[in-house]
Amino acid sequence: MNFKQILVIIGVITIIIGGLYYLMSPYQNCLRTVEIKIEEVRNKLATETDVNRRVELESEQEGFFNQREFGCMERTNW
């Protein structure tokens, strides 16, 4: 094997490990979960007509935005 082949193999292994980390990372899982919750609240907001309920949903959505920015980083460790 020459030097270029070794570099290609190391590069492929690095990409595979990076992809697996991205798929299994607790941080990424937290972000995915929060994104799903945000989408659910957006869908509810799109159809809600009661003003008081809209205020509650907007507050809930703001909480999810904060969780996405700060909460996932604090809650997840390897």
Per-residue model confidence (pLDDT) at position 77: 64
Whether 75 shows a pLDDT value over 80: the answer reads no
Q: What is the rounded CA–CA span in Å between residue 71 and residue 22?
A: 18
pLDDT in tens, 46-59: 888 888 898 999 99
Q: Tell me if 10 is assigned to some domain.
A: no
Q: Tell me if 6 is assigned to some domain.
A: no
Q: What is the rounded CA–CA span in Å between residue 32 and residue 68?
A: 9
- Who wins on pLDDT, 11 or 72? 11
Q: Tell me if 75 is assigned to some domain.
A: yes
User: Which pTM value belongs to this model?
Assistant: 0.65
Q: Tell me if 67 is assigned to some domain.
A: yes
Task: Report the pLDDT averaged over residues 9-33.
Answer: 89
Task: Supply the DSSP symbol for 48.
Answer: -
Q: Tell me if 39 is assigned to some domain.
A: yes
Domain count, the chain: 1
| Residue 50 belongs to domain spanning | 26-78
Q: Tell me if 20 is assigned to some domain.
A: no
